[in-house]
Chain A
Amino acid sequence: MLAGAGLVFVALLVGFVVDLVVQARPAFAHFGVGFITGTQWNPVTGHYGALPFIVGTLETTLIAMVLAIPIGLGAALALSHLLPPRTRVVLGGAVELLAAIPSVVYGLWGLLVLAPFTRSVIEPAVAFVFGHAGPGSGAEIGIGLLLAGLILAIMVLPTMVAISRDVLAAVPADQVEGALALGATRGQVLWRVVVPHARAGLLGAVTLATGRALGETIAVTMVIGNTPAFAHSLFDTGATMSSIIANQFTEATEPFHLASLIAIAVLLLVVTALVNVAARLLVRSVGRSRAAIALA
């Protein structure tokens, strides 16, 4: 009976994927590979191409992870090894609360509070750093790629911190004490003993955080500006795979419009699955090399 419960889950997953693929088939059949490489999204002329959204998703996720990984790792290290117990409890509770905030609340806060701040403080600073060119060029209006990346970073931080903290705290105390006894400084203990020991778990945390960032819909839809085209700078508006689906699926009545949106959903599934598989392989190889070291 318990096996039956597991089978139900598998059946649901398979049924779900099959149904999506079947509904997306008209778009793939009509546009072929050109759907994935196409750069135009035009319901009036009937041309649909998913590349701007794939790139948009990867860009926002990249910005989010570039910000979340160092901050998350630092916070997790502090929470597990550096801070006194009382502070640890308070900060740990605060991080967990951040994880409990619904996505739409992040979107609202981002639009109403963070967007003006981004427009007046963050974007001028970024423009200054890049010399008003390349990623720092364009009109500074607050909403756009950069804001979406910032909000995603804040949203995945709790995941990063919570898992990393547990993994880092699980490093055996005798490893830490042994290193200290050998005369290592605190920094050397952290970076040469604790973090390498917890590598596999940290990778797992990064994967989970990336997975969340890839699929996040409502918060991103509210702050990314919904322009179905490539973004040429951090300040440009754009769209991600999930935001274009959320925006357009209720009224996709033109021919191939709905099928194209479902095709994008299939692509999103594929991208997320690829990231997961890559991370699993990484974790396994890291684990294997550690086991080899342990056996030697």
Chain B
Amino acid sequence: MRHRNVYGRAWVWRALGAGAVVAAVGLTPVASSGAGASVTSRAVSDSSALTLNGAGSTFDQPFFTLGFYEYHQKIDPSVTVNYASIGSGGGQGQIEANTVNFGATDVPMFSSDLAKATAGTIVQVPIDLGGEAISYNVKGLPQGLHLTGPVLAEIYLGQIANWDNSALKKLNPKVNFPNESITVVHRADGSGTSYAFTNYLADISSTWQSKVGVGKTVAWPVGVGGQGNEGVAGLVADTPGSIGYVELDYALKNHFTYFAMRNPMGAFVLPSKASVAADAALHPGVSPTNFKIDNLGHSKAAYPICTYSWLAIYQKQTNASAGTAMVDLFEWMTHGGQKYAGELDYVPLPSVVQATAEQALSTIVGPSGQKLLTKAAIAKYGVPSGK
């Protein structure tokens, strides 16, 4: 089928081509694809090295990447964690099917989700706290423009389609808005970040509540979908005239411009560690059934779009060493490890919430019913984090 000279001359081209492809793959930045990153069941290869598998929220991903690495380097080199950042919905699905050791989700699992769990009761542990920055990519617009919830809802409903509109001009009278159509960016996958965002919109806009509603996946009236927080950030970065909601760290790392949102006290607040902490302080008694911290009143310094993120772990662990490693890891992540959350512009958990987390972790038991979180572990890992 091939003439001999084909192989003789063409191999040079093939080698060059293959090299070019490899170079291209190596040089292009990777946008996380996310789909189908299913994780194998818990792996305990030998007594010294332990690999834990988790999946879920992309909101948590920056913190988890750093936190798990530091834990492995400085606290317990025998523990490695694989975390698949596939979205809160994916995390819930994986823990329900018991294919991972833990799931991570920005909206706690509801009783209807918990009923689908295949290996018993699930315990939910608050793990981090962050704000959602409403980012925009419009040439010439300064950072920190003022925006209110109702106007944001109208943008996401498609009722406001151009940056040059009266509502935005009224909020920012000194700013020159260009005549450019607004490209709305939202999440294409099932997302706890979306849940917190739609929860906020439904709170301040009855039109949104009736037309779209609240959920990890909703029927977005307009806009383009990205996979994960990373996907939305990528789309906002690449698309002039776009607006999108991402966890604060993604906005800061990508040097996005983002809005100062109006809170219930009438102040326009930029998302930051301080403003998210102020919001969280208004509702210290969070629990998996009482988790909403959007749009709380009584503080002029509070940023209105914030969410906790939760771990989902089976209460009855079938493998004592994996279970013990997990509770020790997360006792540290919710206490000493919060320092690393702070470095990435999440807000370190308030001490009341740290106590809630510890309480939840101490209900986790091993195969013979023994509590896996020992007093010694609490003393060792449960050192309160410095802010």
Partner-B contacts on A (CB < 8 A): 40-45, 85-86, 89-90, 92-94, 97, 100-101, 104-105, 107-109, 111-112, 115-116, 139, 141-143, 218, 221-222, 225-228, 237, 246-254
Contact = CB atoms under 8 A, between A and B. Distances in A.
B219 A44 contact: yes
Given A44-B218, A86-B9, A249-B36, 4 more contacts: A93-B13, A97-B21, A100-B21, A141-B239
Pick from A111, A116, A141, A251 the residue with the most CB of B within 10 Å: A251
Contact of A246 (B21, B35, B216, B219): B35
16 contacts: A43-B215, A44-B214, A45-B219, A89-B5, A89-B6, A94-B17, A111-B238, A141-B241, A218-B33, A247-B225, A248-B190, A250-B34, A251-B87, A251-B217, A252-B93, A254-B217
A248 B224 contact: no
A222 B33 contact: yes
A43 B218 contact: yes
A239 to B, nearest CB: 8
Contact of B224 (A86, A92, A93, A141): A141
A173 to B, nearest CB: 15
Nearest to A140: B181
B18 A97 contact: yes
Contacts of A116: 238
A101 B23 CA distance: 13
B186 to A, nearest CB: 9
Nearest to A111: B31
B188 A94 contact: no
A225 B225 contact: yes
Contacts of A94: 13, 17
A141 B116 CA distance: 40
Contacts of B14: 93, 97
Contacts of A90: 9-10, 13
Contacts of B10: 89-90, 92-93
A248 B34 CA distance: 10
Given A108-B28, A139-B181, A227-B220, A251 B17 contact: no
Contacts of A40: 219
A59 to B, nearest CB: 17
B219 A251 contact: no
A42 B214 CA distance: 12
B271 to A, nearest CB: 26
B223 interface: yes
Contacts of A109: 24, 28
B217 A250 contact: no
Given A109-B24, A227-B220, A221 B35 contact: yes
B36 A246 contact: yes
A51 to B, nearest CB: 14
A105 B24 contact: yes
